[in-house]
Amino acid sequence: MCGIIGILAKNKIGESSFDQLDIALDALKHRGPDSQDCKIHSNVAFGHVRLSIIDADDRSNQPFCDASGRYTLIFNGEIYNFKELRNDLEIKGVEFVTNSDTEVLLHLLIKEREKALPKLNGFFAFAFYDNQRDEILFARDRMGIKPLIIYEDGDKFILCSELNSLFHFDIDKTIDADALNHYLGLTYIPASHTIIEKAYKIKPGEYGIIREKSVVINTYTEVRRNPYAKLNYEDSVTELQKLMNSAVERRLISDVPLGCFLSGGVDSSVVATIAAKQKEKLDTFSIGFDHKYFDESGYARQVADKIGSNHHEFILTKKNFEDEFENFLEAIDEPFADSSAFATFLLAKETRKEVTVALSGDGADELFGGYNKHKALLKSEDYTPRDKILVKGASSVLGSFSNNRTSKWGQINRKVQKMNSGLKLDIEARYWHWCHFVSIEDVVNILKPEHYRTINWEGYMIQDVSDSLIADQHFVLANDMLKKVDLMSMANSLEVRTPFLDPNVVDFANSLPLAFKLGKNATKRILKDAYREELPEDVIDRPKKGFEIPLQEWLGDQISEILNSDKFSQEFIEEQGIFNYDGVRTLLKKVSNKSFGDRIYLVWSLLIFQHWWKKYMT
């Protein structure tokens, strides 16, 4: 696991960027504390920081070159099937000098270029340079587990793992207004946008070639609905178990200590249960809260006891939030406001004290229909006019009561309000409406008119619930969930692996009928049935709860302090020229009066944005 930077200079001015390469690499040191190096050709410079996982010997450090010196690779990730690929290459006469997957990837790219990409089972972002052709090939894994960002202006191309390294170069910092509007509504910025206009994210499953001072980007694979597998339900359960066993087994290969996240939910419990059968003395890690409504650590302990793992539990308090908040903010490379990122940051920090690699349950919700919105979409398809009237009436009656995420009844009211507003829309608009954390009206009220944009969702056709699962895999999973885990784990030099996102598991899940996954009163049906006998009943059958923090309580008490901070002063906001000062003050006052609902998430987004702006833009 690593951080990468590549520069292709178009002219002498571009070559001057090479002078900043070392300091830009320093900004990625958290991603790779074990080694840092760079290699400069005439007009290309590659830099790399390494977290040693496979073949920790210095011989596998990067940038990695072939014996002739013609080819150079910088690579972030793991290739789980590298031993099979290596055997094939050895049959063809390739000789290896390391035991690393890096060297296997290098020689595979030398022989097959972009045609090699569909053969890779793993997660990765890399850049491969052929100095004879003066050509860079770069790519990102099919699910978007590892990030890859490109910046381009008239003098240079820069490839990098995190946006923060870009700010050490001479770049145009103009804000992307579309990205800003995405961020305020969703709490994250989807690919291909970044917050900077001239920088863009490579999408999952894309590759590109830079030659003759221009770049061409193509797709080598993408997740999609596959033809239905010709298996009945019972045989499908057996096949899923087989594929998950193999996926976990591949991800247990490591030359450094390895464990599992264990939240107490079904997904991480499945992964930990499988791993405990394949690895002796498995370490598991969970984070709980000193807040009854949010704490799920008891479920994690039940699973740990059942599988016999060496369990580590960390209880997160408001004091932890206050003590670690600034460190958390420093880990954010571009505005990113999924509030569960803070808990992920602390979980990664505690886990890294014991292991260097952790397996997680990410991806199962998007594959098997685990979110409340999936169940709501399915129900809403069959709603009669009478049902809609009843929901509207409930919304009206509950409208004056608490609407938040900090209590059972607050959640019920919030869901009723969401359902009522969604029923007024067609299924595609309903899906995007339910993806948003805050209302467009609230976003409009805090932005200056010239910075507001109407979001265009072209490229995502959602005609039924199965389409919404595919959209989640493209959109929510890659841009929110996986971004969060990569950013927060790598901030603590921890590698996280995701067995549910093994290509074979993904393709199989996307070939299953919706009825195998989702019912009106059941989510992730096939996954739960596959492991029902191995997990505690309480874990299998309990309602879905998101991995959230008690943001309303922890942040709500600090609103007056936020109101008086320099980042929300009239002078600061007017100098920015982005936000409407009166609108921001009105929002903060509503929240300080406890009239917040989901507006607290907009305040959280603003708080993170203002910190990011002050750090990078002033």
User: What residues act catalytically?
Assistant: 2
Return the structure tokens found at 80: 């789980």
3-state helix, strand, coil in the chain (%, to 5): 50, 15, 35
147 phi and psi angles, rounded to 5 deg: -85, 155
Listed in order, strand segments (DSSP E) in 309-354 are: 310-316
**335 close to 480: Cβ distance less than 8 angstroms:** no
**286 close to 311: Cβ distance less than 8 angstroms:** yes
Angle between helix 599-616 and 581-592 (nearest 10): 130
- Pick from 259, 272, 339: nearest CA to 299: 272
The side-by-side arrangement of strands in the sheet containing 44-50 is 35-40, 44-50, 2-9, 156-160, 149-152, 199-201
Q: Which string of DSSP letters, residue by residue, matches 189-207?
A: --TTB-SBTTEEEPPTTEE
Give residues with Cβ within 8 angstroms of 90, minimum separation 6.
96
Per-residue three-class SS string for 550-612: CHHHHHHCCHHHHHCCHHHCHHHHHHHCCECHHHHHHHHHHHHCCCCCCHHHHHHHHHHHHHH
Q: Give per-residue burial for 245-281: e unless 16+ CB within 10 Å, then b.
A: ebbbbbbbbbeeebbbbbbbbbbbbbbbbbbbeebee
**160 close to 149: Cβ distance less than 8 angstroms:** yes
Amino acid letter, 67: A
CA distance 89 to 134: 25
CA distance 309 to 259: 10
CA distance 249 to 359: 11
Measuring CA to CA, how many Å separate 231 from each of 226, 234, 235, 238, 516?
Answer: 14, 8, 6, 10, 11
Listed in order, strand segments (DSSP E) in 348-469 are: 357-359
Sign of CA dihedral 335, 336, 342, 348: negative
Return the structure tokens found at 96: 């290896």
